[in-house]
Structure 1
Amino acid sequence: PLIDQHRHQLTVTLPPKPIWLNADASRLEQVVVNLLTNAAKYTQDGGHIWLSLQEEGWDCVLRVRDTGVGIAPELLPRIFDLFTQAERSQDRSQGGLGIGLALVQRLVEMHHGKVEVHSSLGQGSEFVVRLPMLLTAEAQSPSSQTEMTKQTGPSLQVLVVDDNVDTAGSLAMLLEASGHEVRMAHDGPTALEAALKYRPNVMLLDLGLPGLNGFEVAKRLRQQPVFQNVVVVAMTGYGQEADRQRSFDAGFNHHLVKPADFGKVQEILATVSAKATRTDSPDKQAV
């Protein structure tokens, strides 16, 4: 719909014969959708988008190229970080939160592949996904399917709180792709209700929430004994020392500044999982 809305010309080039992959079709579909959506957002009305698929050596290579506004050189190293506000368009209404690209990178890496970007301001962008091919159309073994979805430590219950519905949904998809159970809330009061009902191991909490801000949500959580050991992570655009201190004073365990590297989130979750593994009592909150 976005491509039609902006009257983009879409050119699709496919190989003459199928390419076989050891892959999760729904997750690869999400990769393609996110890359095409990203291209459509940052390509002017009437522009051109190319999607191609081909074999290169032992790799299946997917390319999505556009004639859009391009990416500034200083942004390129962070383009796959969480919440990267892409300074690629004067029209901020188009969006720009980079969780979609962070999800692309995570899903590609789960398939033992890699994704890279080539771009210059005013000259469009090209995203290249490389995935290892199967030599034949052999069936996937159960072990390979398990390996694709494995994570470090047990699955955690994570509550994502952000008033931007798209941001929360994309982050939830990233976490689910990493093997965790996720619930979402979009304002302060709902976050407290969800925490009481869901009893999460970890909360990823935006600070600028309607109803009650993130600081107040954290303070009220810490007033209840059942939430003393829940790991609460601030997700914010403010990174001064005073901002960090205010977070810790309110009861946050971690303070991540947007754009945040999803690897940092994974490190926090891995630490929580490791502690959960050592927790013997099922009645004790695993942190």
Structure 2
Amino acid sequence: MPLPYVFDIFTQGVRTPDRSQGGLGIGLALVKSLVALHEGQVRAQSAGPGKGSVFEVELPLLVQSKAAEPDAGSQPASGAGKAARTKRILVVDDNVDAANSLGELLALLGHEVVVRFDGKSALRDAAAFAPDVLVLDIGLPDMDGYELARRLRSVAATAQARYLALTGYGQAHDRTLAHAAGFDHHFVKPVDIVTLQAVLDADG
């Protein structure tokens, strides 16, 4: 039986007494992201509780003739074989576990990450960090993410950054509010890390 949600970030099975101290639910989401970055697929299936699980990773085979191999001193063409640029990312979310987990996941993907848990500390530290991307929760305790985005847009160091809204609300009205506040993208929790990474790569 396929397991459709096991690779979603923060997804965990029911904890038994002998597994009361489980992880944060980011390991398989990271596996999915890394496999996707190699243009592969990963699948999981199980016959049921207590019957074990099977994980399959499928990766494309690289076939390259000797004649096509580049000379030692040659440079790849523009954009070819070039890894996505490392970005400075500011994550702001008052859910400490979720914020730290997302920050750790983005760091494992090669980005430089700073995590803050409220709007005030984000405003205080954003200019010095000068992030390329800001991932902002909307439901913050001291100001909502819309206000935070508007205020950060007025700061020179963060005016040209990319703004990603992260929220539990995904209605059309919520997307309209995010766009009006200056967000470039709108994600509903829990964010799909593969989709997030694709947006980060596409933004250059």
TM-score by length of 1: 0.52
Q: Are the aligned partners of 1:108 and 1:129 in contact in 2 as well (CA < 8 Å)?
A: no
**Counterparts in 2 of 1:112 and 1:272: CA distance versus 1, 3 Å:** closer
Does 1:81 find its partner at 2:8?
yes
Inter-partner Cα distance in structure 2 for 1:230 and 1:185: 17
1:215 is aligned to: 146
For residue 99 of structure 1, the aligned residue among 26, 29, 38 is: 26
Equivalent residue pairs, number = 179
Inter-partner Cα distance in structure 2 for 1:124 and 1:162: 38
Inter-partner Cα distance in structure 2 for 1:95 and 1:217: 34
Q: CA RMSD in A?
A: 3.4
User: What secondary structure sits across from 1:200 in the alignment?
Assistant: coil
Shift of 1:245: 0.6
What are the equivalent positions in structure 2 for 1:1-287 lying under 5 Å apart? 76-84=3-11, 88=14, 98-106=25-33, 115-119=42-46, 126=53, 128=55, 152-273=83-204
User: What secondary structure sits across from 1:205 in the alignment?
Assistant: strand
Q: Are the aligned partners of 2:36 and 2:194 in contact in 1 as well (CA < 8 Å)?
A: no
1:14 is aligned to: none
Shift of 1:178: 1.8
Shift of 1:131: 10
TM-score by length of 2: 0.70
**Counterparts in 2 of 1:124 and 1:170: CA distance versus 1, 3 Å:** farther
Q: Deviations over 1:178-215 (max 9, x none)?
A: 22111111111111122122010001111122222212
Shift of 1:233: 0.3
Q: Equivalent pairs: percent with the same residue?
A: 44
Q: Are the aligned partners of 2:137 and 2:167 in contact in 1 as well (CA < 8 Å)?
A: yes
Q: Deviations over 1:34-56 (max 9, x none)?
A: xxxxxxxxxxxxxxxxxxxxxxx
- Structure 2: unaligned runs, 5 residues or longer: 60-80
Q: Are the aligned partners of 2:9 and 2:193 in contact in 1 as well (CA < 8 Å)?
A: yes
Inter-partner Cα distance in structure 2 for 1:248 and 1:110: 28
Q: Are the aligned partners of 2:153 and 2:159 in contact in 1 as well (CA < 8 Å)?
A: yes
- Structure 1: unaligned runs, 5 residues or longer: 1-71, 133-149, 274-287
